[in-house]
Amino acid sequence: MEGIVATMSDLFSALPEGYLPKWLLFTTTLGLFNTVQNYMTDSLTKRVYAGKPNEVSPLAARFFATWTMSVSMIRIYAAFHLEHKFMYDLGIWTYVIALSHYSLELFVFGGCKLNGPFMSPAIVAVSSLVWMTQQYNYYVKY
């Protein structure tokens, strides 16, 4: 147990200062949980896409899992390298893409409804975009 605590302490000490890098790691953790659950079942994904749950197949859930894992990997790198413009921009783009996807599903395709399972990722995307936009000049150095 001591080794795990030491490893976690080393991990967090390598992050840039502030809460934003920790937030990126937190949303990464949520994304990795979502990845695992999407590989195992499509039941939670059907709740997010409650407007058309019949269109959420096991294949669609696994595809969504792979997409979510890819985005999570970008956010991990961004969390540790926010001083680099390209990493900061990639981190922002992960939230832009997510918000675009959920907005299209809500307003255009009808796949989502305004319910708790939908609102969670939408709120994370919006708040992260606002936060990252506001903190851009604080973190980006190169």
For residue range 66-107, list pLDDT tens digits in order. Answer: 999 999 999 999 999 999 999 999 999 999 999 999 999 999
Q: What is the pTM of this model?
A: 0.87
Q: What angle do CA 69, 93, 62 make, to 5 degrees?
A: 25
Going by pLDDT thresholds of 50, 70 and 90, the confidence category of residue 8 is: low
Q: Which residue in the block uniquely carries the two structure tokens 């079942």?
A: 41
DSSP H helical ranges for 41-115? 43-48, 58-80, 85-104
Q: pLDDT for 23-66, tens place per residue?
A: 999 999 999 999 999 999 999 999 999 999 999 999 999 999 99
Overall domain count for the chain: 1
- Which residue, 76, 77, 73, 132, is CA-closest to 99? 132
- DSSP percent split of the chain into helix, strand, coil, nearest 5: 80, 0, 20
- C-beta atoms surrounding 135 within 10 Å: 15
Which domain, by its residues, includes 69? 1-139
